Chain A
Amino acid sequence: MQRIGVFICWCGSNIAATVDVQKVAEVMKSEPGVVYSADYQYMCSENGQQLIKQAIKEHNLTGIVVGSCSPRMHEATFRKTAEAAGLNPYMVEIANIREHCSWIHKDMDEATEKAIILVRTAIAKVKLNAPLMAGESPVVKRALVIGGGIAGIQAALDIADAGFEVDIVEKNATIGGRMAQLDKTFPTLDCSACILTPKMVDCAQHEKIDILSYSEVEEVKGFVGNFSVKIRRKARYVDETKCTGCKICMEKCPSKKGLNSFNMDLNTRPAIHIPFAQAIPNVAVIDPEQCIKLKTGKCGICQKFCGAGAIDYEQKDTFIEREYGAIVVATGYKPINLDAFNEYGYNDNKDVITSLELERLMNAAGPTNGVLLRPSDGEHPKVITFIQCVGSRDSSGCGKPYCSKICCMYTAKHAMLIREKYPDTEVHVFYIDVRTPGKNYDEFYRRAVEQYGVDYIKGMVGKVYNENGKLMVQGSNLIDNEQITIESDLVVLAAAIEPEPSVRKVATLLTASIDTNNFLTESHAKLRPVESPTAGVYLAGVCQGPKDIPETVSQASACAAKVIGLLAKDKLKTNPCVAIPDESMCNGCSQCANVCAYGAITYENKEFRLGGGKTEIRRVACVNPAVCQGCGACTVTCPSGAMDLKGFSSKQIMSEVEAICKK
């Protein structure tokens, strides 16, 4: 026999001003199955909850309905209340008589009548509720970080410092990412390598961190707490355990004409190389496209000279499979391709460069040893023009519709550093808007203008062309309403940034959603900014949206906090509102598995008694409750109705429909 209790909340005057709460409570007393009905000013308050607990005990309630604010607000509160009074928390239903009633209606009679129907509907549903127990699944105490840039490094260090094992999978031969390529960092102008490389070393030396460089994620199975990941370890043709990083191979390699991608292709490197001096791991890698031995079978010089015997031309890709409890995605960014922006002459003029190329030209470890020389003739540029928003804020289809966020600040940095080091250089910056929100950011930009005399021109460049050996930068100066042409020696383009393209594959493997610009989507833009909607997957750095180093590091640490919180648990409570198949009705047709986004449904052959001593073997669906997220897609796909959803069963929803429609 059902014994339902009804609790109508006034929510101060929020509900009581438009809904006759006392009348609602009174009417409910005569509803079949209801043995107790009361109203109270604030049901969610300590006293209100006490009232509920008492009623549950005194009246032996088997289920309760709270007529109050949205379940999205206080469902969890009242479930805990019920549990404290010994009632299964899933025997609670909320009738939303605030957001869906009192707040949107003005007429008291109308609102009261609707509130009565809503409470009745909740009663109809709760009568069909069944006690549910949240399941448990174990947590593998190891995290995977995809991407070894500053985001991945910071997340890995924080997680490892908390005592959990972390693997960093990095597709390049070294960790470090984009930050390793930078010269100085804003707004403090400290040297990028000086603050990054110690962290790289920390990673390498941390006993809890395993760096899997030159590796990529191939396959992901499982779910939060229990991911199983297959990782491809690409052949680097050098035994990582033997190479000492002595660089003799680099000296002896006869094939030295490969473009140095670390230096943005501004100079060359040997086929066998260590990407840069502070690379971690400090181990060589052979570019198979460039290596004479791998291409023709003849050469083998590096092998001859390698004292450690680390060179192995026969090496093949290998695969490892590991289990993880949580995954951090930190795949980073790249500048966009500028083929669609030929008006700036990037492809035709060596002295039109991107900002990232300028970083290398100004870096002491770069191709010019930190002396700013223009690529065409090695001369000092006397007039340098920066162009902002190259491909950013572009909705024409050529570029990206978003603001790349970092360009205003790094351009101010570049302008300032150039004026500081070469005071005789003239620096112009074409901008649409200068965007510098952030601590000490606007002050930084103003210093460029006020202290260093950088010429900021509000306007955009229409054309860059070469005339008599000079780069003519023709653009508008909107403040003076004129068109100007600046004779420049070097033009620097602030190319828009976009997510590293490999993120698409990673997103697919993780079933993490991705937006139209290929940025990974966070679970909630404001309240859950580092979590992917896929449980157990966290987002750090530019893969989630454009951001600078301080923001990236904050986000990485936030990810780490989330991961630590997850890994600290031995078991995870799972949502008990999951799909449940009735095997006696299941056709085993696989339609439900086809629509399951989580792979929660598998099939097995089971023996069924047919009567008369006969049995038959049938293929039936099984739902893994730890994997099922409870969307219900399978329930509608099932023609026999064998699949149902706990907490939102067909019968429950139909009873709600009936309660609402019956006048």
Chain B
Amino acid sequence: MQEVTTEKKEFTPNIVAFCCNWCSYAGADLAGSSRLTYPANVKIIRVPCSCRVNPMFVLKAFQQGADGVILCGCHPGDCHYVTGNYYTRRRMALLFSFLNYMGIEKERTRVEWVSAAEGARFSAVMNDFVKTVTELGENKRLTDLRVKEGE
């Protein structure tokens, strides 16, 4: 008897995290220096302020195969650039609500405020987001098949 085993590869989502330089990126640094782990499939892009994140970057990430996109910035009121994250908050509230309106799963997008002192929070946020997106599964609705097929 020959046993046929189909190897089931566990799904690990691809997560893009945009972090502002002054709070969240520093918070991620603190998570690192405190050795607070989170999955390796989270990759961080440093931006000066969360308000630098253009919706096009978010869409591009999904197109290129990201399964989840998270934006992190200073807590409202603490923005290094005074008001930047207030604009982020409005833009992303509207954009993510809109993507959901088009049928994109609401769990795929998230905005979190993480200060430079919140290493533990950064790690917790990432762990939670990865868990949520893992449960959700692969991004099939907002991705470019051409990019995926070219693997």
- Please report which residues of chain B, range 55-83, place their CB below 8 angstroms from some CB of chain A when the two chains form the complex: 55-57, 60-61, 64-66, 77-78, 80-83
User: In the bound complex, do residue A633 and residue B40 qualify as a contact, i.e. CB atoms below 8 Å apart?
Assistant: no
**A526 → chain B closest CB, angstroms:** 10
Please encode chain B, from 13 to 52, with 1 for each CB lying within 8 Å of some chain A CB and 0 for all others. Answer: 0101000010001101101110111101001111111011
> How many B residues, CB 8 Å from partner?
46
**B34 → chain A closest CB, angstroms:** 9
Cβ contact of B45, chosen from A595, A630, A657, A662, cutoff 8 A: A657
> Interface residues of A toward B: which range?
35 or more
User: In the bound complex, do residue A99 and residue B84 qualify as a contact, i.e. CB atoms below 8 Å apart?
Assistant: no
Cα-based distance from A553 to B49 in the complex (angstroms): 35
User: In the bound complex, do residue B65 and residue A636 qualify as a contact, i.e. CB atoms below 8 Å apart?
Assistant: no
Cα-based distance from A533 to B87 in the complex (angstroms): 19
List the A residue with the shortest CB-CB distance to B58. Answer: A657
Please encode chain A, from 99 to 129, with 1 for each CB lying within 8 Å of some chain B CB and 0 for all others. Answer: 1110111110011011001100100000000
Cα-based distance from A100 to B123 in the complex (angstroms): 11
**B145 → chain A closest CB, angstroms:** 14
User: In the bound complex, do residue B84 and residue A654 qualify as a contact, i.e. CB atoms below 8 Å apart?
Assistant: no
Cβ contact of A71, chosen from B46, B81, B147, cutoff 8 A: B46
Contacts of A660 in B (CB 8 A): 14, 16, 43, 45, 61, 64, 66
**A319 → chain B closest CB, angstroms:** 27
A113-B40, A661-B64, A662-B65 are known contacts. Are A633 and B83 too (CB-CB below 8 A)?
Answer: yes
Contacts of A656 in B (CB 8 A): 45
Cα-based distance from A577 to B60 in the complex (angstroms): 23
Cα-based distance from A266 to B61 in the complex (angstroms): 69
Judge whether B110 is part of the interface by a CB distance below 8 angstroms: no
**A531 → chain B closest CB, angstroms:** 12
Contacts of B91 in A (CB 8 A): 636
Q: Find the residue from B31, B38, B46, B57 having the highest chain A CB count within 10 A.
A: B46
Cβ contact of B57, chosen from A96, A653, A663, cutoff 8 A: A653
Contacts of B55 in A (CB 8 A): 636
**A399 → chain B closest CB, angstroms:** 22
A99-B33, A100-B44, A113-B40 are known contacts. Are A631 and B51 too (CB-CB below 8 A)?
Answer: yes
Judge whether B132 is part of the interface by a CB distance below 8 angstroms: no
User: In the bound complex, do residue B33 and residue A513 qualify as a contact, i.e. CB atoms below 8 Å apart?
Assistant: no
Judge whether A341 is part of the interface by a CB distance below 8 angstroms: no
Cα-based distance from A105 to B123 in the complex (angstroms): 12
User: In the bound complex, do residue A99 and residue B28 qualify as a contact, i.e. CB atoms below 8 Å apart?
Assistant: yes
**Which residues does B use to contact A, with CB under 8 Å?**
14, 16, 21, 25-26, 28-29, 31-33, 35-38, 40, 43-49, 51-57, 60-61, 64-66, 77-78, 80-84, 87, 91, 123, 147, 151
Knowing that A534-B82, A636-B54 are A-B contacts, what are 5 other residue pairs whose CB atoms are under 8 Å apart, sorted by A's residue number? Answer: A105-B40, A114-B43, A597-B81, A635-B52, A661-B66
